[in-house]
Structure 1
Amino acid sequence: MTQQSLSARAWAELLLLGLIWGGSFLAIRVALDEVPVLTSVLHRVFWAMLALWLAVFAMRLPIPRAPNVWGAFLVMGLLNNVIPFGLMAWGQLYIETGLTSILNAATAVFGVIVAAMVFADERLTLQKAVGVAMGFLGVATAIGLNALTQFDPRSLAQLAVLGGTVSYACAAAWARSKLSGLSPQVAAAGMLTGSTLVLVPLTLLIDGPPDLGLSASSWLAIAYYALIATAGAYLLYYRVLAMAGSGNLMLVTLVIPPVAILLGAWVRGETLRPEAFAGFALLALGLLVLNGTLWPRSRARARD
C-alpha cells in the first residue's frame, strides 16, 4: 500500500491548519501574561464549546442523549483538553513557545505507543519502532539530558509539556474506542462541554472568578486560540483528515514548530538553544518514518 497522494487543496488546508496551530502557542503565551493558567484554559474550552455547538445546530446534526456517551465526553474532555491544555499552558510560563511546540510534536510518537498497547490491529512494527526511537531521541536532544536529573522550573515545565502529549495520545485511543460512531463535530462539541464542566468549579476554586477587565491584546489572544485555533481548527482538522488520511495528516506536526518559533522570536524576542533545533530535526525524521514518507509501507511489511 502506497502513501496516499495529496491534492493541491488538501496541501493548502493542511498548511493552513499548521499555521493556525503554530500561532496558538504565541496567543496562549500572550494571554498568560495577564490570565492565570486554569482561567486561560477555561476561556479556551468555553468559547470554543459555544462556537462548535452553534456549528452543530446549524448543520442540524443529531445530538446524543445516552448517559454513557456523555460520560465518554467527560473523560475525553479531561484527556484531550483539561490535562494537556493545563500542563502545556503552565509549561509555557517557564519555556519558550517554540520549544513547547517542538515537544508537542511528540504527541504522534506517544500515540503510536498507546495505540499498540490498546488495539490489536496497531501492533508495533519495525517501521513504527524505528520512528518511535528516532522521535524519543529527538525529544531527549531537545530538552537535554539534564532535564531528567534537575528539577528546576524549566526542567519541570518541559516534562509537563511531554505529560500533555501523553494525555493527547490517550485521548486519541479513547476517542477511537468510545466515540467512533459519532459525527466529529458533535464529538468535539461534547468533549469541550465535558472539559468546561470540569474546569468551571476547578477554576473558581483555584483562580477565583475570571477577571473580564482584560487588555485588548489578551482578549484578542483568547479569541484567537479559542475560536480559531480550537473551534475552527477542529472543524478544519476533520476536513483535512477526510481528504488526506491520518498518515498524511501527521505532516501538519512538521509545520507547527517553525511557525511557533518564528512568531516567538518576532513578537517576544525568544531564542532557542541549538539542541532544540537538532532535536526537532530528529523528531521530524521519526515522524516521516512513521508517516511512511521515508519508509514505504510495502518495504516495512516485507521486513516485519
Structure 2
Amino acid sequence: MTPQNPNLARELSLLLALATLWGSSYTFIKIGVETIPPVTLIAARTLIAGAILLAVLRHRQVRLPSDRQTWRRFFLQACLNSVIPFTLIAWAEQSVDAGLAVILNSATPIFTFLLTVLITRHEQATTRKLFGVIAGLAGICLVIGVEAIGGLGESLMAQLAIIAATICYAGAAIFGKNFRGLDPAVPAAGSLISGAVILLPVSLVVDRPWELSPSAASILALLALSAFSTALAFAIYFRLVQTLGSVGTTSQAYLRVPIGVAIGIVFLGERLSSTAWIGLACVIAGVAAMTMPRRSEYRAAQSAGNR
C-alpha cells in the first residue's frame, strides 16, 4: 500500500524535525547513562514523556481509548518502540560511542524494507525504494567514515544489542499503521504509558533508584530526552507513519546520521571525515527516493485532498 500525501513539503519538514529530535537522543543517552542506570533512565524517560503527552491530550480535550484491544496494541507497540529498543540502546551506550550507535541504529529502513517485502507486503517494494536503501546506506558509511566501521569488532554484545533495537524499530513502524484514524498523540501517549508500566517495577527492583546520585548533567539530559526526543518525537512519528508510510518514516534514520554526528562534534568532540559532504548528498538522495511519491500518485492525493 502506497501512502497518499497531499502536502509533501510539510511532511518532509516533519521528517527532518523527527530526525533532529532522534539524532540528538544518542548524545542525551550517552550523558544520561554516565550516572543513571539504563533501565531507570528509560523508565523515567517513558514516564515523563507519557505524562507530557497526557497533559497535552487533556488540554486538547482528547481522551485515550478505554477498550482492552486498543490497550493491548499500545503495550505491544511499547515493547517494539520503547521498552526493548530504548533499554538496549541505553545499555549499549555505556560502552559504545554515540556515533557508532547512530550508524548501527540507522539500518532501520533496511529491516523495514525487508519486512514489508518478505512478510507484510503492505507497501510496494519499488526499484526506487531499493535505490533509496542503497544510497542511504552508502551515505551513512561516508558520513561516519571507515574508522567507525573498523570499530565494529569491539564491544560486540553492545553492538548486537543496538542491531536488535533496530529490528524492533522496523517492526514498530509497520505495527504503528494499526493506529490509523487515531490522533497521532494518542498512540504515542498510550504506548509510552504502557512502557512506563512495564519498566518502573523493573527499575525499582533492579536499580533501587532512591539510592542513586545522578549528576545535574544526567538529569538535564534525561529531561531533554523525555520532552523533546520522546514526547514530541513520538507525536510526529505516529503522524508520519500514516502519511509517508512505514518505510518512508524510518528513512529519517538517514538524516539522523549526519545530525547525530554534528551534535557529537559540538558536545562530544567527535570529528567528521573528509567525505562527510558526499555522504550527506547520498543521504538526502536516499530519503527523497524513499519518500517522494510518483507524479501520478501525488496528483491523485491532491485531488482527494480537494474533495
TM-score range, shorter chain: 0.7 to 0.9
**1:198-236 C-alpha deviation (Å, 9 max, x unpaired):** 111222233233556432212111110001211122234
Match of 1:84 in 2: 85
**Contact (CA 8 Å) 1:118, 1:173: kept in 2 or not?**
no
**Contact (CA 8 Å) 1:103, 1:139: kept in 2 or not?**
no
**Contact (CA 8 Å) 1:144, 1:275: kept in 2 or not?**
no
Match of 1:202 in 2: 202
Give 1:103 shift: 2.8
Does residue 1:98 correspond to 2:99, yes or no? yes
Structure 2 CA distance for aligned equivalents of residues 240 and 275 of structure 1 = 30
Structure 1 CA distance for aligned equivalents of residues 161 and 278 of structure 2 = 21
Q: Spell out the pairing of 1:1-304 with structure 2 (5 A cutoff).
A: 6-7=8-9, 13-134=14-135, 144=149, 147=152, 150=153, 152-153=154-155, 155-177=156-178, 179-211=179-211, 213-237=213-237, 245-246=244-245, 252-271=252-271, 285-292=285-292
Q: Percent identity?
A: 29
Structure 2 CA distance for aligned equivalents of residues 270 and 167 of structure 1 = 28
Structure 2 CA distance for aligned equivalents of residues 249 and 136 of structure 1 = 16
Give 1:19 shift: 3.0
Give the letter aligned to residue 50 of structure 2: M
**1:31-57 C-alpha deviation (Å, 9 max, x unpaired):** 111011111111110100111111111
Give the letter aligned to residue 291 of structure 1: T
Structure 2 CA distance for aligned equivalents of residues 118 and 5 of structure 1 = 30
Question: Is the partner of 1:94 in helix, strand or coil?
Answer: coil
Give 1:285 shift: 4.7
Query: What TM-score does the superposition give when structure 1 sets the normalisation length?
Result: 0.78
**1:172-217 C-alpha deviation (Å, 9 max, x unpaired):** 222223x224322111111011111111122223323355643221
**Contact (CA 8 Å) 2:18, 2:236: kept in 1 or not?**
yes
Structure 1 CA distance for aligned equivalents of residues 110 and 213 of structure 2 = 40
Match of 1:302 in 2: none
**1:155-179 C-alpha deviation (Å, 9 max, x unpaired):** 33333222211101101222223x2
Query: What TM-score does the superposition give when structure 2 sets the normalisation length?
Result: 0.77
Q: Which runs of 5+ in 1 are unaligned?
A: 299-304
The alignment covers a number of residue pairs equal to 289
**Contact (CA 8 Å) 1:87, 1:160: kept in 2 or not?**
yes
Structure 1 CA distance for aligned equivalents of residues 270 and 78 of structure 2 = 32
Structure 1 CA distance for aligned equivalents of residues 132 and 239 of structure 2 = 26
**Contact (CA 8 Å) 1:26, 1:264: kept in 2 or not?**
yes
Give the letter aligned to residue 224 of structure 2: Y
